[in-house]
A and B are shown apart, each in its own frame.
Chain A
């Protein structure tokens, strides 16, 4: 049971780490807490589901691309102008929740079916020290970790990645030095939403996808990012794995209803005791 719990926790944490990464990337670069990315990601999941019968690869690409474009446009036309006028976190909280309402409405309007399940091919099962795990779940976990590595590599070795770092460290100087910070913001927001979409696709193929999953992914993504030290990508992924464990074990020991109660309770405690997160963050809320 212990091993089983650990494996379930790791996989849950791995999937959760994708929206967490999305939140962390967006917050780390733009300084905006975005609560809508979960809903946008689920919209991408629904789009993928719609095209799935056509071709799996194409469907996934379309879903992710839709999310990237939505994230890009929202940042461009709404969030960047507001942050230039000097919006605070509370304002962004309200605005992005409203944005979430809009996309929730869009999902409801386009896809009348409230509850879908993405039928992605299973990769068989793998035997891990006596516990059989679906290969697809292992793939999901590895994919999440791989995404983290790719983001780190991008940051260190490409011009756009360096511009991200510069923008997040000193926005004013980044502008003066000639970085198109508006574009950096928009791309960051697009990538954040695309990551949430990947998270939603995995979620939809392992469990099932509803509109409310979007809010869950968005809020959980945000709070887990807070626990890790918001804006800190490593902290985000570590805290996602820890929280995955917490959910897995509380599910085993107390039953499914208690999972999220324990999760949110721990997060509130972390907020009260160590507001900068377990690994700390250069930025604070």
Chain B
């Protein structure tokens, strides 16, 4: 039951920044940005940590959603919502093709293939700069032209909370339980007669769709995208969100997004020394706190609590 409070609490807490709408300005802008990455962080949490699929192409699925939206609207003149939806549907295709073609390989090869795709994709965007704008990027007004910036912000907050709630729900269903089994022991799951291929494709489809949708919202929110935004480091940062925050608990990615995305934003003045500090923290967390920050913060609270009583 206590577990339940934690989950409901996390989702309610995710909605809290709706209050920033009254203040607007920088705080609101940054929060929206962090939330857009939190969506990707939850995708990584679901696909890599909960379903055990060694996928590193989050920036690619996100970029397909983002560029797809722009290209369909601007070049083909589709209505904005339709192009957002269609490009999100198309995003998982990349992941699934990669998954199916590496199906005979195991573990690290699959990680590497998807990681190489994440390196390749921005280079492809550069090479196709006549359409995509390459490094100098594309400007895009998108839905903000119709509904305004604030409404989009509110939508993103709700979308993030909905994505979190959806992943929470799906982990409780039969599909989610089978995915957990697959992540614990793939072969055994197959041996007991479960069609693991089907469930893995389901996992890739869900993750790809949400990641693409997140990308489509991203480009609407920032109004701009270039190949630099989807560099390979983006995929690493996304992967670090649940890893640093704590992959075991549901609110881990929230902590991770605050840490991985918000901190660099706030520490821009000392940016020169920032990467050192960042890398060291990653190493320390991975080596000393393999469960991530969340369980340790929990312990800390419990200690403080015990001292008080």
Contacts and interface: CB of A to CB of B under 8 A. Distances in A.
A265 interface: yes
B276 A98 contact: no
Interface string B248-289: 000000000000000000000000111111111011001100
Nearest to B240: A94
A284 to B, nearest CB: 8
Interface in A103-141: 103-106, 108-109, 112
A95 B283 contact: yes
A101 B278 contact: yes
B108 A98 contact: no
Contacts of B102: 271-272
Contacts of B101: 272
A260 interface: yes
Contacts of B120: 260-261, 264-265, 268
Most A CB atoms within 10 A — which of B109, B232, B272?
B109
Contact of A98 (B115, B119, B126, B283): B283
A65 B277 CA distance: 25
A4 B267 CA distance: 49
B286 A285 contact: no
Interface stretch (A44-52, A85-93, A171-179, A200-208): A85-93
A219 interface: yes
B107 A285 contact: yes
Contact of A271 (B116, B126, B127, B282): B116
B248 to A, nearest CB: 16
B284 to A, nearest CB: 9
B273 A268 contact: no
Contacts of A221: none
A236 to B, nearest CB: 16
Nearest to A267: B116
B269 to A, nearest CB: 14
A109 B120 CA distance: 29
The secondary structure that dominates the B interface is helix
B198 to A, nearest CB: 21
A78 interface: yes
A97 interface: yes
Most A CB atoms within 10 A — which of B117, B243, B280, B283?
B283
Contact of B243 (A94, A219, A226, A260): A94
Given A88-B108, A90-B111, A109-B276, A102 B283 contact: yes
A214 B111 CA distance: 21
Contacts of A257: 123, 126-127, 129, 134
Interface residues of A, number: 41
Interface residues of B, number: 38
B286 to A, nearest CB: 6
B116 A261 contact: no
Contacts of B272: 105, 108-109, 112
A102 B280 contact: yes
A78 B283 contact: yes
Interface in B98-156: 101-102, 105, 107-109, 111-113, 115-117, 119-120, 123-124, 126-127, 129, 134
B129 A98 contact: no
Interface of B: 54, 101-102, 105, 107-109, 111-113, 115-117, 119-120, 123-124, 126-127, 129, 134, 232, 236, 239, 243, 272-280, 282-283, 286-287
A102 B107 contact: no
Contacts of B232: 215, 219
A261 B183 CA distance: 32
B109 A271 contact: yes
A98 B279 contact: yes
A141 to B, nearest CB: 26
Contacts of A271: 102, 105, 109, 112-113, 116
A215 B233 CA distance: 10
The 4 closest A-B pairs by CB, nearest first: A105-B275, A101-B279, A105-B276, A102-B279
Nearest to B243: A94
Most B CB atoms within 10 A — which of A88, A97, A104, A268?
A268
A82 B109 CA distance: 21
A38 to B, nearest CB: 13
A221 to B, nearest CB: 13
A92 to B, nearest CB: 9
A103 B279 CA distance: 8
Contacts of A60: none
Nearest to B124: A261
Contact of A105 (B54, B109, B124, B279): B279
5 contacts: A97-B236, A109-B276, A226-B112, A264-B123, A272-B102
A285 B243 contact: no
A63 interface: no
B287 to A, nearest CB: 7
A272 B106 CA distance: 11
Contacts of B111: 89-90, 93
B276 A106 contact: yes
Contacts of A112: 272
Contacts of A272: 101-102, 105, 113
Contacts of A103: 279
A275 interface: yes
Interface in A226-285: 226, 254-255, 257-258, 260-261, 264-265, 267-268, 271-272, 275, 285
A28 to B, nearest CB: 16
A187 B265 CA distance: 39
